[in-house]
């Protein structure tokens, strides 16, 4: 199990680094362009739901990739893995990170405030169950997670972001690497026992 998780984490590490780098660049453009916080707020509620869809897709696909599961079991794992961890990544970690940096932050729970986000999670679960695609969804999930996190910073916090960019890179990297890789890889594989593993090709490049 641990070897399998380590292999998946290593394979997806470049996506995490690219996501954090792109997020830092976008944050710099927002700061230099003096983009109003209202714009960041609206963009967050576009990117976060998209993140939830791809997270649900990737989490479910990873689970059924290694185990032939009933649909309702996949729904439970895909929904909790996407809603719970996407909220942690996009809202809770930025909120706590802002507090650590001394930035006044508003606290929001997106899937409670916008109930339809739960429906998008279920749609992602359905797609992931019938199409076992993990590479592209995780790549998109990583980028969307980073961008949603940074727009949470600028949408719900007020600060001079330019001097904070090096530290924000670290926070964005952690916000992606820990929660997103946990959601897409570690969490679904926790429910798979070695003897239940499906005989799939390990190095197959999914479209």
Taking phi over 0 as left and psi of -120 to 50 as alpha, with beta for the rest, 204 belongs to beta
pLDDT in tens, the chain (207 residues): 566 666 666 766 677 777 788 888 888 888 888 888 899 999 999 999 998 998 888 888 878 877 766 788 888 888 988 898 889 889 998 999 888 988 999 999 999 999 999 999 999 999 888 876 655 555 676 788 888 988 999 899 888 888 888 888 888 877 777 676 666 666 666 766 554 444 444 434 333
- What is the number of other CB atoms lying within 10 angstroms of the CB of residue 98? 23
What count of Cα atoms within 13 Å lies in the side-chain half-sphere of residue 204? 10
Is the entire prediction scored with pTM above 0.75?
yes
Q: Domain map of the chain by residue range?
A: 2-195
Contact (CB, 8 A) for 141 and 59: no
Phi, psi of 105 (to 5 degrees): -130, 145
């Amino acid at each position: 199990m641990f070897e399998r998780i380590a292999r998946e984490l290593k394979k997806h590490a470049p996506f995490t680094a690219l996501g954090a780098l792109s997020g830092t660049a976008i944050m710099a453009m927002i700061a230099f362009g003096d983009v109003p916080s209202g714009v960041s707020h609206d963009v967050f509620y576009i990117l976060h739901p998209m993140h939830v869809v791809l997270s649900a897709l990737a989490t479910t696909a990873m689970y059924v990739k290694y185990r032939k599961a009933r649909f309702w079991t996949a729904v439970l794992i895909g929904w909790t893995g996407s809603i719970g961890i996407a909220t942690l990544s996009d809202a809770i970690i930025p909120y706590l990170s802002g507090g650590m940096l001394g930035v006044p932050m508003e606290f929001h729970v997106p899937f409670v405030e916008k109930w339809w986000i739960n429906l998008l999670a279920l749609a992602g679960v359905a797609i992931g169950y019938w199409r076992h695609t993990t590479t592209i969804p995780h790549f998109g999930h990583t980028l969307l997670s980073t961008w949603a996190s940074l727009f949470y910073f600028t949408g719900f916090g007020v600060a001079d972001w330019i001097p904070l960019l090096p530290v924000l890179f670290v926070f964005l990297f952690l916000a992606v690497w820990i929660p997103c890789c946990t959601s897409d890889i570690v969490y679904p594989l926790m429910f798979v026992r070695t003897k239940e593993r499906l005989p799939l090709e390990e190095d197959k490049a999914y479209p």
